[in-house]
Amino acid sequence: MADENLSLVLYGKQDLRLENRPIPEPGYGEVQICIHDVGICGSDVSYWQNGRIGDMVVTKPMVMGHEPSGVVSKVGEGVVSLKVGDRVAIEPGVPCLTCRQCKTGRYNLCGKIKYCATPPDHGTLTRYFVHAADFCFKLPDNVSMEEGAMLQPLAVAVHACNRVNVHLGATVLVCGAGPLGLACLLTARARGAGKIIITDINEDRLKYAKKVGADHTVLAGDPQQTARVIQDSLGGAADVTIECSGAPSSATATGGRIVLVGFGPAEVRLPLLSAQCREIDIFGMTTFANSYPAALAMVTSGQVDVRQLITHRYRLEEALDAFEAARRREGVKIIINCQRK
């Protein structure tokens, strides 16, 4: 069979296959995109290994991938903002735009949002993909296709920093030195954070965090001991904590703020009385809203260099090997190129 639209498809728990699929055609307000680069996210690996994340269960074959960039190859009726040949980053969530959450600007909370590679919606690890033109962003000449794919994790970091108001001079604790944690580190630095400390259970990840700008790193272990090391390093507790590891334990200053970015256990024990009496603000978050323009501006201006997070590159034909490398937590960010050889 000819390779019309090679795609990486998840059929269920630990059942990932490369197969050919029909080339989709754009509808009203949509564009067809020849996908160029797609990053692998930890959630992709979770879906592959477990067949689910919480209540989101893979019940039918689903094309993977939600960190894409590409080139517009066809334009649907009603599209005036894009033309064939435009290089774009793709914001992977398309909300209904009519509900209360959408109308108040929090469209990431839309109950009808269609999000790439989240059951039942297909993702972007494919040759050709169709998406709403309003959620495609033109890339300036000085922004590469790989950087365009990196806008998705950077947009998550922008939303996380917005949620807890990382301000000029703030001391910031980032828990987890994976791709999202490092993106949060870079974003907090761009927003003027004074000191940034990052924790992880992997020494290699911590070395990489130091390389990309962490002021201090801590190998996480016993929560109480880790908290003491953090306070000693910062000269006090962190003003803001960005939790990207999914671990139940965390720490922040009295009057401080915590945002939960990484997926942890469905239920955890929480010292609620301590949080209440110390006026700790705990923020949840899901994906992002209105964050792609800021992420693109940071990359375009040179404030944030996301290229330094890319450590491994594979072709779409090698996608199964790429996912195995991600499962082993090799490097930091893995990018899959979807162009034909």
CATH topology agreement for domains 6-149+305-337 and 155-284: no
Q: Quick one: how far is CA 275 from the chain centroid?
A: 28
Q: Give the burial class of 85: count Cβ atoms within 10 A of its Cβ; 0-12 exposed, 13-18 middle, 19 or more buried.
A: exposed
Q: How many CA atoms lie within 13 A of 138 on its CB side?
A: 9
CA 32 to chain CA centroid, Å, is 23
Contact between 206 and 229 (Cβ < 8 Å): no
Q: Residue 252 has what pLDDT? A: 76
**Residue pLDDT, tens place only, 24-81:** 999 999 999 999 999 999 999 999 999 999 889 999 999 999 999 999 999 999 999 9
Instruction: Please identify every stretch of the chain with a pLDDT value under 70, giving residue numbers as ranges.
Output: 1-2, 247-251, 264-265
pLDDT of residue 124: 98
pTM of the model: 0.93
- The count of other CB atoms within 10 Å of the CB of residue 230 is 24
pLDDT in the model for residue 290: 97
Instruction: Tell me the domain boundaries of the chain.
Output: 6-149+305-337, 155-284
| Number of CB atoms found within 10 A of residue 292's CB | 21
305 contact partners, CB below 8 Å, separation of at least 6: 186, 299
What kind of fold does domain 155-284 have according to CATH? Rossmann fold (3.40.50)
* The pLDDT value given to residue 1: 42
Options 3.40.605.10, 3.90.180.10, 3.40.50.10470, 3.90.1640.30; which CATH number does 6-149+305-337 get?
Answer: 3.90.180.10
